[in-house]
Amino acid sequence: MEIPSYPASRPLDLTDKPLLDAKFSVLQPRVSELTFAGLYLFRNAHDYRLTMVGDSLVVLGRGYSGEPYCMPPLDEDAERALAVLWGDGLGLYGADEAFAERCLKREGVVAVEDRDAFDYLYLREELATLPGNRFHKKRNRISYFAVRHDYDVAPFSEGYREGCRNLLEVWRTMATGEEEPSFRLEIEAAAEAVEKAELLGLEGVVVTVAGEVKAFSLGERLNADTTVCHFEKTDPFMEGLSQLINREYSRLLFADCKLVNREQDLGDAGLRSAKLSYHPVELVKKFRIRRR
């Protein structure tokens, strides 16, 4: 199915950042995709486009399998815009529970939970300190790494770009033709995030060993009390490093945030197990919504 043609529909561009930042500041989203960087960095992966439907700004996109969808309209007149979009046969992706409840007040609307897309929400202080017995295995992994490597932790800055690029090349070499397309596209998005971090308002931390970048993490503020970690990459051959970079992101960044959103697992069993092992306080539900 082709994405319907709407007046002034156009690809997402870097110049749209002030407009979308203002929309999200009012919206205070809980869903990880709803930041400018989250959309912009995956604009090619999902063919993101902006359009006006009535008085509402709408993001159009495609799933990894090619199906077109719209995201929740970004203005108060969302219901009127959805009537048009649903009339054109588009499903809606990325609705949180509150938005889904609004939609279900209409007759003939079906909402389906998308478990693979649920965001994992954690207490930032817990990730930063790893307290008590629940986290003793995480602390042990960090200790295992620390006694074997002389490492440094620093805020991400321009001087670490080349090292981050080199680390991403390690991940690229691990990809095969049989990998899910989301793996390759996520690496491409991470590479652009490294290049444009300051322009996109991303903050991050890096871990270096013997002067080489072995891990980095990049994220931003999602809403008033939540940060979202968009990218986290580590040397896959260094045990305990993933636990360390996870901790350092929460320890050093966004100290005024209560929560950390670490995005979805995309149905990957290993990733799901790893995310659950950090004891999320909530899974932020996302729904796919359509008209019968």
- Domains delineated in the chain: 10-117 (3.40.630.30), 119-263 (3.40.630.30)
How far is CA 22 from its chain centroid?
19
240: burial class by Cβ within 10 Å (0-12, 13-18, 19+)?
Answer: buried
- The confidence score (pLDDT) of residue 2 equals 55
Query: Which residues in 15-44 are b (16+ Cβ under 10 Å) and which e?
Result: ebbeebeebbeeeebbbbbbbbbbbbbbbe
Nearest to 21 by CA among 4, 40, 5: 40
Coil/strand/helix, residue 77: coil
Express each pLDDT in 165-200 by its tens digit: 999 999 988 876 555 677 888 999 999 999 999 999
The structure's pTM equals 0.94
Which of the residues in the chain have pLDDT under 50?
none
Give the pLDDT confidence score for residue 66 in this predicted structure: 84
Largest CA-CA distance found in the chain, in angstroms, rounded: 62
**Quick one: DSSP state of residue 121?**
E
CA distances (Å), origin 95, targets 104, 142, 260, 262: 12, 36, 19, 17
Q: Say what the pLDDT of residue 180 is.
A: 66
Cα(214)–Cα(207) distance, integer angstroms: 6
> Do residues 12 and 23 touch, judged by C-beta distance below 8 A?
no
Q: What pairs with residue 159 in β-bridges?
A: none
Task: Give residue 201's pLDDT.
Answer: 98
Token couple for 123: 């207490």
Q: pLDDT digit string (tens) for 16-60? A: 999 999 999 999 999 999 999 999 999 999 999 999 998 899 999
> What would the two tokens of residue 135 be?
């986290």
